[in-house]
Structure 1
């Protein structure tokens, strides 16, 4: 899988790009957890999401936010990181101009960034939000949430407590025209440590496959 360097708002951004042979394959970007707490594109959840999407036929890009790894710049409280995500999506779209479907998946801090990107990019057709930190960050900008997606978390998450996630989901599910699916992995912590990674990825894959099937009918 080729390492890529592409332009971001504060200099170069480092990523891993995994294309499909089909020119019209769907595309997905994967967003990593908090840069100041060790989050990188090589985080286990991010890595597993990346390969899950590729196995489902997506051309996939994951990358390091500014100041992480070989990406230039420094942490910017989420504002700059959202710009980084937009640049990553621009880059991915420029390489895949025939793609009909575009997804964003994010883990923890990356889930928060991904949902903001969703609000700014109407071409995003689906989202996966893993362990969204609804206790730490304000998600009220999702009014209305522009596309359907899956929110998934663990019942033993102490970083982003399940009660806050359920409150977020219930607000989103009141909105018309979209369907926000919620799934909880019994006993899983914030990071889906074994044996919980496999059922989490399986749930994500089942959801995405179902959506892709619905879209091709």
Structure 2
């Protein structure tokens, strides 16, 4: 039995075509639900990434439903590791499951590292993405951020130099989005990781209207 205040994700299977991906979900009563997209398979890591765990804990603790998943060919997910279109299809399947489970018509998406490529493609294709958060984004051109059409949050470590800070800041400003720089942290947030969770939870509360 789950006690009050405990955090317990439930294992779930996400169908995509004839295969299934592994995922974990957490219930919540607030909107929007949060989909967490892991790093790209060729970067290594998956839904068990420490940043993903921090995001779902912070979101669920604030009352928002969550879903995180492993792309096909990663962890216990079936199939072979894919590239851009296949990764987008994986995210679309996870998005659909989260919307159905939460009984929602819109959701927020948070990505890790190169998963920003997948998250940006998902947002460009689906109006149901009502908020986009890129945590330590990589493998994207900063100017692409200026084309995001929903509320945008980018979280970077102060010591993360993979994307030029000035260009990222200027692109975000053109969308009316927010940039959160975590002091004394690199791209893996080995320091001050809880600040990332707090920033994302606060962003979700803004999206929910309070």
Check whether TM > 0.5: yes
The reply to whether residue 182 of structure 1 matches residue 185 of structure 2 is no
- Unaligned 5+ segments in structure 1 are none
Partner of 1:34: 40
Q: Cα distance, 1:211 vs. partner? A: 3.1
Count of residues paired in the alignment: 202
Contact 2:19 2:78 in 1 (8 A): yes
TM-score by length of 1: 0.84
CA RMSD of aligned residues (A): 2.1
The structure-2 alpha-carbon separation of the partners of 1:142 and 1:190, relative to structure 1 and needing over 3 Å to count, comes to closer
CA distance in 1, matches of 2:18, 2:49: 23
Q: 1:201 aligns with which of 197, 202, 205?
A: 197
Contact 2:32 2:204 in 1 (8 A): no
Deviations along 1:60-84, one digit per CA (max 9) or x if unpaired, are: 1000011101112222233211110
Aligned counterparts, 1:1-217, within 5 A: 1-9=9-17, 11-20=19-28, 22=29, 25-97=31-103, 99=104, 101-133=106-138, 136-138=139-141, 144-158=147-161, 160-161=162-163, 163=164, 165-175=165-175, 179-194=176-191, 196-213=192-209
TM-score by length of 2: 0.86
